[in-house]
Amino acid sequence: MTEHVKDELLDLIEGELSAKRRGEVLDHLASCPECARERERLEQTLALFSRLPDPEPPADLNRGIVARAQKVRQQKVWWKRMFVPPLAAAALAVIAVSVATLVTKEKTHEKLAPEPAPALAMKEKAAPPRLDLLAPELLESAAPPGLDPEAGEGLGELAPAPALPEPEEDPEVEEPPEVAMADESPGATVSPVEAVEDHDLVETDEVLAWMLLDEPSAPPDPDLPVEVALADPAPPPPPAAARTDAAVAEEPAAWDETRSKSLPAPKVELDEPAPTRPADPAPPATMAPAVEDEVHEERTRGRASPGRVLLRAELTRAGRGCDAALPLFLEALELLGYDDEAGESGPAQCGRSLDRAVAGTAECRREAGDEESALELEAWHRQSCPLR
Amino acid sequence: MMRGVKKRGSGPGAESLEDLSDEELMARFQKGESEALNHILARYGKPLFGFLYRQTGSRERAEDAYQEVFVKVIRAAGNYESSSRFAAWLFTIARNVCIDLSRREKHRMTSSLDAAAWDDAETTRLELVADQGPDPEADLRATELCEALERALARLSPEQREVFLLRERSGLSFKEIARITNSPLNTVKTRMHYALIKLRELLVQEGVAELDG
C-alpha cells in the first residue's frame, strides 16, 4: 500500500487525482509517516525550482520575430493581389496551348509517324521546367556540376527541378529550407505534401494555380521548392532532338549561361509543351529510389551534404534574400570544415565550394550591415585558409 | 511557470488583447493582427527561451532555436486549430526544433554537460539573480542556489529533464507531455518522479540549505 501511494504522490501534488482517490491518499498520508515525508520532499524540491527564473530572450529577437510576421503578412497580401490572378490566367493559357498541342500531335502521329512520335510527345510532356529560363540568376551563382564536385551533387539533382519563384513572389521569405525533421508533430516538415498542407499561405486559388502550372510556379511554401527538388526525380533535360523549339534544339549545354540570358523568360511556359500534370500535388509518390535513398540517408544523418546545403543557401539567397540564406551559408561553411568560432579549417572537402560559401556568407553579413565581420572572414579566407 | 496563463477572462466586452486566451490570440494573429504576436511573445518568451536554453545548454543555441520556433509558428499559424491548446502546440514545435538542432549540430544535449560546460552561461545566471534585492549576501545565496539548480537540471537524463521542464516550467499536463513526447502516460509520470528524486539527491550533494536531507 505504501509503495502504491508513493507512486501517486506526484499526481496528488499536481492535482491530477480524482476527488475520491485524493481523499484516500490523504487518509493514507495521515497514517503513514514515510509517505508523508516523501510528499514533503517532493514538494520541497518543486518549490525550490519554482524560484529559478527563466532567462529573458533578447529583446531584439522578439522585435525581429514581430517584424518578420508583419513582412510575411504584407507579402501574402501582395502575392494574392499581384501574382495569383496572372498565374491563373497563365494557367488557363497553358492549358489551352497544351490541349491544342496534344490534339495537333495526335493528328500528326496518326498521319505521319505513328511509332516514334508518342515517345517524343511523352518526353516533351514530361520535360522539366528549365532552371536557366525560369531563374537565370541561379545559374549565374551556381557552378556547373562538373566544376564542383560538392555543389555538383546538389546541382546535378536540382538543375532539372522546379525553380524558386521570383523573390518578390515568394510570400514567405525568412525560413531557410529545413534539412530534415525527425518528427511529424507540428514544426516538423518532411514531405512536400506536408509542407504544402501545413502552410498557412496555401489557399485554394494558389493550390489550383500550382497544380495547373506544375511545381515551378507555385507552391508558396519557402521550404517546398527545395523539398520538391530533392524529392522529385524530374528527368534530366531531354535531348535536343526531342524538343520542338528550334532554339532549344540548338542549346549547346544545360549550363550555357549566355544562352540562358538571351532567352526571354516569360515566354517559356507558352513555348514549352504544357504540363499535363493531374491534380495531384504529391511529389513523394514519384520519388525515384536513388533519390529517395539519398534523402532518407540525409534525414538519418540529420544533415545534408555541403554541396546540397550550399545550393540551398544560394537558392534561398536568390529567392528570399541574404537574411534567410545566412544560416545556410554558415551551415555549409561548417560542413566544409570551416569553424567560424575557431577560425580553423577541418578536413578539406572542396575548395571551390568553400570559396562560394565564404563569398555567400560574407555577402550576407555585409548586407546585414556587418562589414567588419565580412571583411574578417574574407581576409581569413585569403590569407589563412589552408584549403586555398 | 505558465500555469494559469492559459485563459484570461475572454468574456463579453473583453476586447483588449491582454485579456484574451492564448488560443484567441492565435486566432487574432491568424486573421492578420500582428500585435497579437507581441502578446504571445510576452507570455511565452521567457518560459520558451528557458526551455530551449536548458535543453540546448547554450544561450547562443537557445537564441537560434527560439527564432526558429517562432518562424515556424508564423509559418504554420494558418494550420493551428484553436481547439488544441496553444502551449502544447508551441512546445511541440520547440521540442522538434531542439531535436533538429541537436541532429544538425551533432550536439549532444545537456546530458553531456558538466559544471564546466555551464561556465559560458555564468553571466546569464548572474544576470538572472542580479535584480533580486539590495542585500549582497542574499544575492550571493540566490546566485549560488540558481547555479546549483541549473547544474542539477543539467545532470538529469535528457528524457527526465524534458518532462520536468515541460511540466514545471511550461505548465503542460502529463497527458500533453505524453502526446508531445510520444510516450505512455505512465512513463512520463515515472520520468517526472525520478527526475524529482534525482534533483533532490543532487541538491543535497550540493549542500543546498533549503533541503533538510
Q: Are A185 and B95 within 8 A, CB to CB?
A: yes
In whole angstroms, what is the distance from residue A43 CA to residue A38 CA?
9
B83 inside 8 A of chain A by CB: no
Which residue type sits at A176? P
User: In 10 A of CB A116, how many CB atoms?
Assistant: 10
pLDDT of A385 reads: 58
* Structural domains in chain A, sorted by start: 2-50 (no CATH), 72-286 (no CATH), 306-383 (1.25.40)
Q: Which of 321-340 (A) contact B at CB < 8 A?
A: 327, 331
Q: Are B189 and A11 within 8 A, CB to CB?
A: yes
Cα torsion angle, A50, A55, A56, A61, sign:
negative
Cell of A12: 496528488
Q: Which of A387, A181, A54 is nearest to B153 (CA)?
A: A54
Considering only the beta carbons, identify the residue of B37, B89, B169 that sits closest to A69: B37
Three-class DSSP category at A379: helix
CA distance A183 to chain B (A): 6
Q: Which of A104, A21, A55 is nearest to A273 (CA)?
A: A104
User: What are residue A345's phi and psi, to 5 degrees?
Assistant: -115, 135
Q: How many residues are listed for chain A in this entry?
A: 388
Q: Above 90 in pLDDT, residue A325? A: no
B5 inside 8 A of chain A by CB: no
Q: Which of A224, A242, A308, A265 is nearest to A129 (CA)?
A: A265
Which residue type sits at A328? L
Q: Are A54 and B100 within 8 A, CB to CB?
A: no
B198 inside 8 A of chain A by CB: no
Mean pLDDT comparison of A58-67, A190-199, A263-272, A307-316, highest-scoring range: A58-67
Q: Are B93 and A187 within 8 A, CB to CB?
A: yes
Taking a C-beta distance cutoff of 8 angstroms, is the pair A354, A151 a contact? no
CA distance B136 to chain A (A): 18
Predicted ipTM > 0.90: no
Q: Above 90 in pLDDT, residue B152? A: yes
The mean pLDDT of A89-103, rounded to a whole number, is 77
B169 inside 8 A of chain A by CB: yes
Residues of chain B contacting A37 with CB distance shorter than 8 Å: none
* Structural domains in chain B, sorted by start: 1-107 (1.10.1740.10), 111-213 (1.10.10.10)
pLDDT of A77 reads: 59
Cell of A148: 564542383
Q: Which of A207, A231, A245 is nearest to A130 (CA)?
A: A245
User: In 10 A of CB A22, how many CB atoms?
Assistant: 15
A42 inside 8 A of chain B by CB: yes
- A268 Cβ neighbours under 8 A, 6+ residues apart: A129, A130, A133, A134
- Whose cell is 545556410? That residue is A328
Exposed, middle or buried, A88 (CB in 10 Å: 0-12/13-18/19+)?
A: middle
The mean pLDDT of A112-124, rounded to a whole number, is 43
pLDDT of A338 reads: 65
Q: Which of A187, A244, A192 is nearest to A214 (CA)?
A: A192
Average pLDDT, chain A: 57
DSSP, res A300? H
pLDDT of A101 reads: 79
Taking a C-beta distance cutoff of 8 angstroms, is the pair A118, A105 a contact? no
- A10 Cβ neighbours under 8 A, 6+ residues apart: A42, B189, B192, B193, B196
pLDDT of B206 reads: 85
Q: Are A69 and B67 within 8 A, CB to CB?
A: no
Q: Are B76 and A46 within 8 A, CB to CB?
A: no
Exposed, middle or buried, B131 (CB in 10 Å: 0-12/13-18/19+)?
A: exposed
Taking a C-beta distance cutoff of 8 angstroms, is the pair B36, B16 a contact? no
Considering only the beta carbons, identify the residue of B37, B46, B164 that sits closest to A57: B46
Return the bridge partners of A344, or none.
A339
Does A90 or B59 have the greater pLDDT score? B59
In whole angstroms, what is the distance from residue B124 CA to residue B130 CA?
10
Residue A30 to residues A27, A64, B22, B148, B187: CA-CA distances in angstroms?
5, 54, 40, 33, 28
Q: Are B37 and A198 within 8 A, CB to CB?
A: no
CA distance A340 to chain B (A): 13
* Segment A50-87, tens digit of pLDDT: 888 888 898 888 888 888 888 777 766 555 555 556 66
Closest residue of B to A9, CA-based? B193
Q: Are B49 and A55 within 8 A, CB to CB?
A: yes
Q: pLDDT band for position B178 (50/70/90)?
A: very high
Residues of chain B contacting A16 with CB distance shorter than 8 Å: 173-174
Please spell the DSSP secondary structure of A12-31, one letter per residue.
HHTT-S-HHHHHHHHHHHHH
* Segment B68-111, tens digit of pLDDT: 999 888 888 888 887 788 999 999 999 999 988 888 776 454 44
pLDDT of A79 reads: 54
A312 inside 8 A of chain B by CB: no
Q: Which of A144-158, A361-375, B94-108, B132-146 has the lowest mean pLDDT?
A: A144-158
Q: What angle do CA A92, A94, A100 make, to 5 degrees?
A: 105
B150 inside 8 A of chain A by CB: yes
pLDDT of A174 reads: 39
CA distance A168 to chain B (A): 17
Exposure b/e, A316-325, CB count within 10 A at least 16 = b: bbbbbbbbbb
User: In 10 A of CB B187, how many CB atoms?
Assistant: 14
* Segment A15-48, tens digit of pLDDT: 888 888 899 899 999 989 989 998 998 998 998 8
A54 inside 8 A of chain B by CB: yes
B199 inside 8 A of chain A by CB: yes
Q: Are A186 and B169 within 8 A, CB to CB?
A: no
pLDDT of A357 reads: 82
DSSP, res A214? -
Axis crossing angle, helix B22-30 with helix B35-56, rounded to the nearest 10: 120
* Segment B30-42, tens digit of pLDDT: 888 888 899 999 9
**Alpha helix (H) ranges present in chain B?**
22-30, 35-56, 59-76, 86-105, 122-130, 136-154, 158-164, 174-181, 185-206
The mean pLDDT of A354-364, rounded to a whole number, is 83
Q: Are A198 and B69 within 8 A, CB to CB?
A: no
Q: Which of A44-48, A208-212, A375-379, B58-62 has the lowest mean pLDDT?
A: A208-212
B124 inside 8 A of chain A by CB: yes
B176 inside 8 A of chain A by CB: no
